[in-house]
């Protein structure tokens, strides 16, 4: 079954480089990013996890935890972290899940189509695609992304998307194309003009259905 926006993120308990983790307990009252990579000791994945390591202070500012997953085991993850840190020049302190059982990969549909063939495939001949799940403090999925194995992710965009998710959570606003923090946001269609002014103050009406306002403080 494919996961949808606003589904509760499937819970799991697994081993990781930080010890045993139960997802919902580990998230606590924070946001979380669960992201998969095909294999340890591979070039694109090393650059991606290096990018995550470099952005660790930014995720921390946003009360967001990050959790990596692949079909490799904990010992391989720990050895690979040394390479990540060498490339990134930053400590890779975030946990990486041991998913040699394929439990998490299958729960979150992280495997490519051919990995589900009934031919007894194991982690030795399976690899997760590059998926991203942003999960809210209520443990619901806020955003998903999937990339093929040949395309490295832009983690600056993932950070921007996280900012947009956090800005709009529980507030009748949306973010326009290419929005970045500090820019105006769009008033939700659930509010009429008077309601929008009452809630947000000044609004800039471009079209009857396209109204901008300053992003409210959160």
Catalytic residue set:
45
Helix (H, G, I), strand (E, B) or coil at 39: coil
Q: Residues 136, 138, 139, 145: is their CA dihedral positive or negative?
A: negative
8 Å CB contact between 66 and 54: no
Whether 80 contacts 41, CB under 8 Å: yes
Judging by beta carbons within 10 Å of its beta carbon (0-12, 13-18, 19+), is residue 52 exposed, middle or buried? Answer: buried
Axis crossing angle, helix 74-88 with helix 43-54, rounded to the nearest 10: 70
- Phi first, then psi, for residue 131 (nearest 5°) are -110, 155
Under 8 Å between Cβ of 134 and 168: no
Nearest of 182, 211, 207, 175 to residue 194 by alpha carbon: 211
Strands 21-22 and 96-98: unpaired
């Amino acid at each position: 079954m494919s996961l949808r926006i606003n589904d509760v993120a499937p819970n799991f308990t697994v081993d990781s480089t930080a010890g045993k983790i139960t997802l919902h307990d580990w998230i606590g009252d924070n946001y979380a990013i669960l992201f998969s990579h095909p294999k340890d000791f591979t070039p694109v994945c090393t650059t991606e996890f290096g990018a995550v390591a470099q952005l660790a202070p930014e995720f921390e500012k946003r009360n967001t935890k990050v959790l990596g997953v692949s079909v490799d085991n904990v010992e391989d993850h720990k050895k690979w972290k040394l390479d990540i840190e060498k490339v990134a020049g930053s400590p890779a302190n975030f946990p990486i899940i041991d998913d040699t059982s394929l439990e998490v990969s299958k729960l979150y549909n992280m495997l490519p189509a051919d990995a589900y063939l009934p031919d007894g495939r194991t982690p030795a001949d399976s690899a997760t695609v590059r998926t991203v799940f942003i999960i809210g403090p209520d443990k619901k999925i806020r955003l998903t992304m999937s990339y093929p194995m040949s395309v490295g992710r832009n983690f600056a965009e993932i950070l921007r998307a996280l900012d947009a998710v956090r800005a709009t959570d529980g507030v009748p606003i949306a973010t326009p194309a290419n929005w970045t923090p500090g820019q105006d946001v769009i008033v939700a269609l659930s509010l009429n003009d008077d309601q929008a002014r009452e809630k947000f103050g000044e609004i800039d009406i471009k079209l009857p259905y396209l109204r901008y306002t300053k992003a409210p403080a959160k």
